[in-house]
Structure 1
Amino acid sequence: MRILMTGAAGGVGTLLRPRLAREGRVLRLLDVVPLEAGPGEEAVTADITDPEAMEAAMDGVDAVLHLGGHSVEQPWADILQININGTYVVLEAARRTGVRHVVLASSNHAVGFFPRGEDEAPDYLFPRPDTFYGVSKVTKEALGSLYHDRYGMHVTCLRIGSCFERPRDVRMLSTWLSPDDCARLVEASLAAGGFHVVWGVSANTRRWWSLEEGRAIGYEPKDDAEMYADKLIAEYGEPDPRESPHSLVGGAFCGPRYDVENLTTGG
């Protein structure tokens, strides 16, 4: 089996490379940054917005894990070209070459302005993006839905929370997706038929996002951010779920720092 991973030089891609390695599997790593391939890997330097390069990168591929694109807020023109058009180019290249399974890295920022309540934030939550970046994730999910319904592609969209080796602040006690659980989620998604939107979160004690759809496709998280709680609370204090950045799904992305007037004009 050969899996094309776009954005392989990024944070999540770097964490996943060793965790997705399997006997009989080849990871084809693609990024605009040159990468050195290790055992069981192939490296491709290409831009996800280049149709010819992406179609060539799909040769012999069985599934795509699309992580490529800006991972934080950027000016609209950059988001439009890289995140939105780039996703279209990836999906169209997959369609044209007959690739049937695609996993799309969406984000909690697709629904960032959804408020915290007493119940878990449900699966398939209606879009409420908090930034242009969040809009690009909504569009990514919409494109995935289109390519499933129109072309029969199997697509799973992962609304990823905070994927790091360990939670970095008290908010992440709720939103953390451990690297090992991220790999478990990707494995389940690569095998899932149909179209799915799944929360990318670990089995955190303080989690307030649903795991129902993830478990429906075979994802069973094993990690809990609570093991880091004592140290983080000693440093930052106990979080108040009624106050920012804990009161909205998107956290600080919902604040004025990300107003369009405050964005830089560069790439």
Structure 2
Amino acid sequence: MRILITGAAGGVGTLLRPRLAKEGRVLRLLDVTPLEAGPGEEAVTASITDEEAMAAAMDGVDAVLHLGGHSLERPWAQILDVNVNGTYVVLEAARRAGVRHVVLASSNHAVGFAPRGEGEAPDYLFPRPDTFYGVSKVTKEALGSLYHDRYGLAVTCLRIGSCFERPRDVRMLSTWLSPDDCARLAEAALAADGFHVVWGVSANTRRWWSLEEGRAIGYEPKDDAEVFADTLVAEHGEPDLGDLPHSVVGGAFCGPHYDVDNLTAEG
């Protein structure tokens, strides 16, 4: 089996690379940053916006894990070119190559302005993006839906929370996706049929995002950010759930720092 991983040099791609390595599996790693291929790997230096390069990269591929694109907020033109058009290029190349399974890295920022309710934030929560970056994730999900309904691709969209080796602040006690759980989620998504939108989050004690749809496709998280709680709470204090980082899905991305005028001023 050969899996194409776009954005393989990024944070999530770097964490997943050793965890997705398996006997009989080839990981084709694609990024604009040159990578050195190890055993069971192939490296491709290309942009996801390059139609010819993406068509070539799909040769012999069984499934795609699309992580490529800007991972933080950028001016609209950059988001449009790389995140939105790049996703179209990837999906169209996959369709033309006959690839059946595509996993799209969405984000909690696709629904960032959704407020914290009394229960869990449900699967398939209606889009309320908090940034242009968030809009690109909504568009990624929409393109995935189109390519599933019109062309029959099996597409799973992962609304990833905070994927790091360990949670970095008290907000991440709720939103953390451990690298090992990220790999478990990716494996389940790469095998899932149909179209799905699932939360990318671990089995955190303080989690308030649903795991129902993830479990429906075979994802069973095993990690809990609470093992880091004592250290983080001692440093930052217990979170006030009424404060912005905790009261909406997107946290600080919903704040004024991400207003377009501020973004333009920062270049």
TM-score for the superposition, normalised by structure 1: 0.99
* 3-state secondary structure, aligned to 1:193: coil
Which residue number in structure 2 is paired with residue 33 of structure 1? 33
CA RMSD of aligned residues (A): 0.9
CA distance in 1 between partners of 2:265 and 2:76 (Å): 9
Query: Given the alignment of the two structures, is residue 154 of structure 1 paired with residue 185 of structure 2, yes or no?
Result: no
Matches within 5 A, 1:110-129: 110-129=110-129
CA distance in 1 between partners of 2:265 and 2:48 (Å): 22
Q: CA deviation at 1:242?
A: 1.3
The letter for the 2-side match of 1:219 is: Y
Q: Deviations over 1:118-149 (max 9, x none)?
A: 10000000000000000000000000000000
Which residue number in structure 1 is paired with residue 96 of structure 2? 96
The letter for the 1-side match of 2:153 is: M
The letter for the 1-side match of 2:226 is: E
Q: Deviations over 1:52-101 (max 9, x none)?
A: 10000000000000000000000000000000000000000000110010
The letter for the 1-side match of 2:5 is: M
Q: CA deviation at 1:117?
A: 1.1
Q: Deviations over 1:175-231 (max 9, x none)?
A: 000000000000000010000000000000000000000000000000000000000
CA distance in 2 between partners of 1:221 and 1:265 (Å): 41
CA distance in 1 between partners of 2:266 and 2:256 (Å): 19
Which residue number in structure 2 is paired with residue 197 of structure 1? 197
**Runs in 1 of length 4+ with deviation above 4 angstroms?**
none
Query: Given the alignment of the two structures, is residue 5 of structure 1 paired with residue 5 of structure 2, yes or no?
Result: yes
The letter for the 2-side match of 1:84 is: V
Which residue number in structure 2 is paired with residue 242 of structure 1? 242
CA distance in 1 between partners of 2:243 and 2:68 (Å): 32
The letter for the 2-side match of 1:238 is: E
CA distance in 2 between partners of 1:173 and 1:118 (Å): 18
CA distance in 2 between partners of 1:116 and 1:188 (Å): 27
Query: Given the alignment of the two structures, is residue 262 of structure 1 paired with residue 230 of structure 2, yes or no?
Result: no
CA distance in 2 between partners of 1:201 and 1:108 (Å): 10
Q: Which runs of 5+ in 1 are unaligned?
A: none
* 3-state secondary structure, aligned to 1:245: helix
**Contact in 2 for aligned 1:115/1:249 (Cα 8 Å):** yes
Matches within 5 A, 1:217-228: 217-228=217-228
Q: CA deviation at 1:264?
A: 3.8
**Contact in 2 for aligned 1:75/1:266 (Cα 8 Å):** no
* 3-state secondary structure, aligned to 2:246: coil
Q: CA deviation at 1:6?
A: 0.1
Matches within 5 A, 1:58-207: 58-207=58-207
CA distance in 1 between partners of 2:266 and 2:147 (Å): 32
- Aligned identity (percent) is 87
The letter for the 1-side match of 2:44 is: V
CA distance in 1 between partners of 2:31 and 2:237 (Å): 39
TM-score for the superposition, normalised by structure 2: 0.99
Q: Deviations over 1:225-251 (max 9, x none)?
A: 000000000000000111111000000
**Contact in 2 for aligned 1:145/1:155 (Cα 8 Å):** yes
Q: Deviations over 1:17-56 (max 9, x none)?
A: 0000000000000000100001100000001001110000
Q: Which runs of 5+ in 2 are unaligned?
A: none
Q: How many residues align?
A: 267
**Contact in 2 for aligned 1:108/1:250 (Cα 8 Å):** yes
CA distance in 2 between partners of 1:107 and 1:234 (Å): 29
Q: CA deviation at 1:266?
A: 8.1
